[in-house]
Amino acid sequence: MRTIFLTLGLGLGVAACGETQTTERPRDPVVIEGVQLRPCPTSDPDHECEFDHAKASGYLADALKGDYQAQRNVSDMHTSSRAWIVARPIQGCAWRMVIMVSRPADSTMDDAGMYRIQCGDLGAADLADAKTLASGIYRRIHGTELPPLPPIA
């Protein structure tokens, strides 16, 4: 099942017969979703689930402020195979796209590898959705358009 989290700007209005009226809505084509978490299993000996539950919302808030490590954490959580995290590969890939065009110069090659892993398996439609989402995330953080992305190789 393919889920996309985009909103559409619609002009809605009510008018008397023969009149037209439109109401403008602010246009934000992107809904940035936080990491969805399921309840922790009854056995969580290393407290990994509890840790993720405690940190997930903070990671998103920091990621939206431009924090590089928080962006990596959000991307990783969206594509995690942990039983208590709802996987959202489009969200994870979108965050990785943002990372690839805004990461610090001294970052490691791990980002390029994760970019290939998180985005390389998406189909064309999901990849296009991820790029649309990445554009909205980048615009929200940096106030400009998403720069050209490196190829997924």
pLDDT at residue 30 in the model: 58
pLDDT at residue 152 in the model: 92
pLDDT at residue 29 in the model: 45
pLDDT digits (tens, 9 = 90+) for 50-80: 999 999 999 999 999 999 999 999 999 999 9
Indicate if the alpha-carbon torsion angle 52, 53, 59, 64 is positive or negative: positive
Q: In which residue are the tokens 């208590």 written? A: 84
Query: Using CA atoms, how far apart are residues 98 and 87, in angstroms rounded to an integer?
Result: 19
Reduce the secondary structure of 108-129 to three states and give it as a string. CCHHHHHHHHHHHCCCHHHHHH
pLDDT at residue 62 in the model: 96
Three-class SS of residue 23?
strand
Which regions in the chain score pLDDT beneath 70?
1-30
Partners of residue 12 on adjacent β-strands? 23
pLDDT at residue 115 in the model: 94
pLDDT at residue 34 in the model: 87
pTM of the model: 0.78
pLDDT at residue 26 in the model: 41
